[in-house]
Amino acid sequence: MDKPSKEFKPYIPAEKITPELTAASICMGILLAVIFGAANAYLGLRVGMTVSASIPAAVIAMGVIRVIMRKNSILESNVVQTIGSAGESLAAGAIFTLPALFLWAAEGTMDKPGILEITLIALLGGLLGVFFMVPLRNALIVKEHGTLPYPEGTACAEVLLAGEEGGANASTVFAGMGFAALFKFIIDGIKAVPSEVSMRFKGFAGEIGTQIYPAVMSVGYICGARISSFMFAGGVLSWMVLIPLIVLFGENIVLYPGVDQTIGQMYAAGGASAIWSSYIRYIGAGALAAGGIISLIKSLPLIINTFRGALTSMKSAGSASGLRTERDLNMKLVLGAIAVLTLLIWLIPAIPVNLIGAIIIVVFGFFFATVSSRMVGLVGSSNNPVSGMAIATLLIATLILKFTGAEGAAGMSAAIAIGSIICIVAAISGDTSQDLKTGYILGSTPKKQQIGEVIGVSVSALAIGGTLYLLNNAWGFGSRELAAPQATLMKMIVEGVMSAQLPWNLVLIGAMIAVVVEIIGIPVLPFAIGIYLPVQLNGCIMVGGLIRLALDKMKGDEAKKKEIVNDGVLFCSGMIAGEGLIGILLALLAIFGVADVINLSKKFHLPAAVSSIGSLVVFGLIILTLLKFSLWKKRSTVTNKKAGK
């Protein structure tokens, strides 16, 4: 395994010194960390998925550094994406768990968590994730360079190496941000058109349709047709099969957790959405839990081998030569920081974790940091089983806390705090691995990248608490606008262990569906997310997946086709960021009472058919803008020659 790394020569040689961790790269990285962190928090709470910020952050950095600042500094651009992508990863880890505390507060079970508590949990988890990766870098990034591809990290390096087109690529990202901001304001700001189009059937309780949000469609484009189709299939199962069955067989029955109405009355009052809210979400949660556990079990041989190798490699960590490209943070400093962070987890009152909980966090944290890094190295960040790791941690932590006497609200909040930190550790470790892979290919100084990760994590942790408060106050977690699927699942798991007051029949039905899906060879997690989320959201994701499929299947020059698809990815990344930022702005307007003033739907009452046509027209315009900046984008003569024109 050592041979590939010894033969490998980075783009910038070790003996060459170029700017990396500069004031410009730090400031730009901090700004992007906050932007992509907030945008991904919003997106993840809506659709249960986040997207990598590394490549859009890299092209923005190139656009600013190369075009505006007129500097040829690839390692500086790499530090920008290193800091900027930390915000997205920390947000992903936080939104999977922390909203559970808000959900309990809404039920009156406990007090709402303070911003300080959220910030500290996010900060400690993020820093642990970075520091755990320092001794693992040599084992996983260097020694296995020829074995672990780290898809996103390698792709980001390729984007940075193709920096001649940086200005044009950056403009594509910014265009996506602008158009998505405009469309989002039209849809959810002034509410000129409804946000979704649905079709109901006479005498049949099923429902099908699509949302028209640019960010949701962009998720489908980035994920591709395969993952999008699995999510859509899950949505079709829940909204066109399970909901009609529940209404058909239970029309005159009062079934827990519904307590005041029969299922028929519930459907008459709220349609398929009411059945989804009361019953399908539990089935979806069961499928999600089973899917997470299945993915973890399937990875066990890999997990064991990776962990054994990581422990062995730690003996040689810090013994690298004096080459610039082999300098990590000092191991004594790293181990001391981990010890201090462990004590802080135990001692800080805002984090409701005792000494046992702190030890659980450190043990599971390093274990799952190792697993996360190895998994993203093989299959990419999108397939990293963070949810499965969090589920396993929550189950074990909740059982231990219960047996040690920590029950009730205190025990539940402690379990979520432990799960949150572990989830953030796993997410940040995966992101740090990808960034270090990019740096290894380019010839960055690992120590400076690791410092950049610490900066990105620290800034993002300060922003995530305010972001969660803002979104919760505007729409509420668990609502149709912010379903927060993973956090709802984590809440149910902790409640189920602590009090056993759950509709376990529904949860087990979902788990058995996941088992069947696994047996027939379909990836469980995207299918389970599809069961959990509204079918209209899955439909919008499917539209994006179909556009990507059409572009992938185009006939013609492969280089040109690849460029068209990549431009679409950049434009969609920009749309996700743009919609996320306007979502935060609209949350502010909702809190300050401005949202109702600009709401056109309350002033003009159009027939449903006319409104639906308006929604489809806006959705068509969104699709056309994507095609304009990918398929129909004007390309330079140089680019056309490269493509073989």
Give start and end residues of each alpha helix (H) in 196-262: 214-223, 225-237, 243-250
Which carries the bigger pLDDT value, residue 57 or residue 2?
Answer: 57
Structure tokens at 283: 């089935």
Give the pLDDT mean for 584-591. 82
442 domain residue, yes or no:
yes
Of the candidates 423, 184, 103, the one whose C-alpha atom is nearest the C-alpha of residue 292 is: 423
Asked whether the predicted pLDDT for residue 459 surpasses 70, the reply is yes
For 256-288, write each residue's pLDDT tens digit: 777 678 999 999 888 898 898 788 878 887 887
What interhelical angle do 355-379 and 386-403 show, nearest 10? 160
- Per-residue confidence (pLDDT) for residue 619, from 0 to 100: 97
Of the candidates 257, 294, 284, 291, the one whose C-alpha atom is nearest the C-alpha of residue 509 is: 284
For 145-178, write each residue's pLDDT tens digit: 877 778 778 878 877 887 645 456 778 888 998 9
Helix (H) or strand (E) holding 411: helix 408-442
Asked whether the predicted pLDDT for residue 6 surpasses 80, the reply is no
Q: Is 282 exposed, middle or buried (0-12, 13-18, 19+ CB in 10 A)?
A: buried
245 domain residue, yes or no:
no
Q: What share of the chain is helix, strand, coil (3-state, %, to 5)?
A: 75, 0, 25
72 domain residue, yes or no:
yes
Range of the domain at 41: 2-174+300-489
pTM beyond 0.85: the answer is no
User: Taking a C-beta distance cutoff of 8 angstroms, is the pair 584, 571 a contact?
Assistant: no
Asked whether the predicted pLDDT for residue 642 surpasses 50, the reply is no
Structure tokens at 89: 């990863």
354 domain residue, yes or no:
yes
Give the pLDDT mean for 505-532. 89
17 domain residue, yes or no:
yes
DSSP 24-80: HHHHHHHHHHHHHHHHHHHHHHHHS-----HHHHHHHHHIIIIIIS----HHHHHHH
Asked whether the predicted pLDDT for residue 21 surpasses 70, the reply is yes
Q: How many domains does the chain have?
A: 1
Of the candidates 298, 417, 286, the one whose C-alpha atom is nearest the C-alpha of residue 349 is: 417
544 domain residue, yes or no:
no
248 domain residue, yes or no:
no
Residues with Cβ within 8 Å of residue 166, at least 6 apart in sequence: 59, 62, 63, 66, 67, 77
Calpha distance 624→618 (Å, rounded): 10
589 domain residue, yes or no:
no
